[in-house]
Amino acid sequence: MSQPVFLGVDIGTGSSKGVAVRADGRVLARATRPHRTATPRPGWFEHDAETVWWADFTGIVRELLAADGVAARAVAAVGVSGIGPCLLPADAAGRPLRPAILYGVDTRATAEIAELTAELGAQEILARGGSPLTSQAVGPKLRWLARHEPDVWRATRRFFMASSLLVHRLTGEYVLDHHSAGQCDPLYDLDARRWNDTWARQVAPGLELPALAWPGEVVGTVHPAAAAATGLPEGVPVTAGTIDAWAEAASVDALAPGDTMVMYGSTMFLTVMGERPMRHPALWGTTGVRPDSYCLAAGMATSGSLTDWLRELTGSDFATLLAEAERVPPGSRGLLMLPYFAGERTPLFDPRARGTVIGLTLRHGRAELYRAALEATAFGVRHNLEAFADAGARIDRLVAVGGGARSLWTAIVSAAIGLPQQIPAETVGACLGDAALAAQALGVDTAGWNPIVATVEPDEDWRAVYDRRYPLYRELYEATRSISHALADEVTAE
């Protein structure tokens, strides 16, 4: 008798990915669909839910079901994840009313962040929700919507993230996982692990809040319309899903206290798990994936998106750029870069920060610039890890995941932070975690699905260079902040 198959699909910033995995952990099929993120104005980042989220999902599922060794009748459960926290306003029937406003890279609600912080109190927000209000928070974006798009707001009754929209389309259920809800600041109470109804009514009056579930909890089954759209059999269980970074942590089983994940994606994201709520004014404190866990998270506004920008700018390809950068010594021959090309999230929370390159001479070329970009993101990781330590988080092990986890990049990061990084067999990412959570929901032991196969140790010679360079990185931001803000304000005013 054939083994059951579990599907996992993740909606990313620049592409979506899916896997079909057998109960023993063997990946039977993979699928990827690239897509574009709309930037209708500076600081705005949006996805059309129909042509990106749902179209990617249905296309990926059909591709997986058509692969050799995957039979639709063998699919035992489906797990989903996606970028977040996002805001997709919808009417009472769940129909999207405008494109989704994306996570912290979208900085349109700056005024509303300041307004709500003054209204509710910064300390009270941190104490009750676990995180300060930043561009990552959903609450200020809800108020922005009410203020700037009143016609849309009048029709809004529900809101979705990428994962919860997929769950709704598959099952008809209006549900959000606890972790994603925990990033809807200030609408969620971290200690009570439920919606903060008083603040929700104050921030978003009339909004129907979704039911809450844990990411690996089955919340419904595939209904007939979804079966027709996807090719999935009716009645297949669907888990609640979550935000991609936490599904990624599940993919490498980095869910125990002290487990720390570094996710190399379009943006760099870090999570560290703990046994109790953790709070820091420069980080995000949330629930974990499991009911007994909590998490402290950090996220940079760029990483892979920065290297992709350089690839497009130079007209080259990643393999060539990496090969050239490998021949450049640490320190990029005197170049130093700030990676704030889309503002910065943690630990600066500065949407008006801007990218900076200093030390340029006529001898520098694309190889030095590319290595400087990798080093800039590595310094950003170090900055965030220092904030983790400040918050009292315990870092027992570091696991690297994502598309950049098998390259020069991880070597540079380990040297910059002075810590080893474990590399799992599969770095395909969140979709594997989605499949694992779906399997666990049906009682499957997934402990051996994704073993650690390598460890990247810090190069001590590189580390000495980066220890000298890191203080300059921190100083450069302080020295150029007022100039960056003035330039950002000038563009915003256009």
**120: domain CATH number?**
3.30.420.40
270 located within any domain = yes
In which band, very low, low, confident or very high, does the pLDDT at 351 lie, cut at 50, 70 and 90?
Answer: confident
pLDDT of residue 493: 65
> Is residue 427's pLDDT more than 90?
no
Average pLDDT over residues 115-119: 98
Banded model confidence at residue 43, pLDDT cuts 50, 70, 90: confident
Contacts from 232-235 at CB under 8 Å and sequence distance 24+? 232/7, 232/61, 232/65, 232/72, 232/75, 232/78, 232/170, 233/72, 233/73, 233/75
- Please give the share of the chain, as a percent, with pLDDT higher than 70: 99
Residue 2 has pLDDT above 80, yes or no: no
289 and 365 co-located in one domain: yes
pLDDT higher than 90, residue 1: no
Do both 154 and 264 map to the same domain?
A: no
Determine the length of the chain.
494
Domain that holds residue 338: 253-425+448-493
Q: What is the pLDDT of residue 494?
A: 63
Q: Report the C-alpha gap between 465 and 246 in whole angstroms.
A: 33
Average pLDDT score, the chain: 95
326 or 267, which is more confident: 326
- Mean pLDDT of all residues in 345-357: 94
Cβ-contact 239, 246 below 8 angstroms: no
**pLDDT given at position 479:** 98
Q: Which of 216, 240, 264 is the last residue of a domain?
A: 240
Do 136 and 170 fall within a single domain? yes
Q: Is the pLDDT of residue 403 over 90?
A: no
Full DSSP string of 374-399: HHHHHHHHHHHHHHHHHTT----EEE
Q: Which of 182, 213, 240 is the last residue of a domain?
A: 240
Neighbours of 16 (CB within 10 A): 26
Same domain, 320 and 455: yes
Is residue 333 included in any domain, yes or no?
yes
Residue 136 pLDDT more than 60? yes
Is the domain of 307 the same as that of 456? yes
Considering the domain boundaries, does residue 149 fall inside one? Answer: yes
Kindly indicate the confidence band of residue 492, based on its pLDDT and cuts at 50, 70 and 90.
Answer: confident
Whether the predicted pLDDT of 48 surpasses 90 = yes
258 with 325, same domain: the answer is yes
Work out the average pLDDT over 348-352: 90
Residue 455 lies in a domain: yes
SS3 287: strand
Please say whether the beta carbons of 38 and 46 come within 8 A: yes
pLDDT at 296 over 60: yes
Residues 229 and 317 in one domain: no
**Structural domains of the chain, count:** 2
**245 within some domain:** no
User: Considering the chain, what percentage of its residues have pLDDT values greater than 90?
Assistant: 91
Encode pLDDT of 463-472 as tens digits. 999 999 999 9
Report which DSSP code applies to 407. Answer: S
209 and 302 assigned to the same domain: no
Question: Average pLDDT in the 46-57 region?
Answer: 98
What would the pLDDT profile of 326-347 be if each residue is shown by its tens digit?
Answer: 999 999 999 999 999 989 989 9
How is residue 3 annotated by DSSP?
Answer: P
Position 433 in a domain: no
Residue 443 resides in a domain: no
Establish if 310 belongs to a structural domain: yes
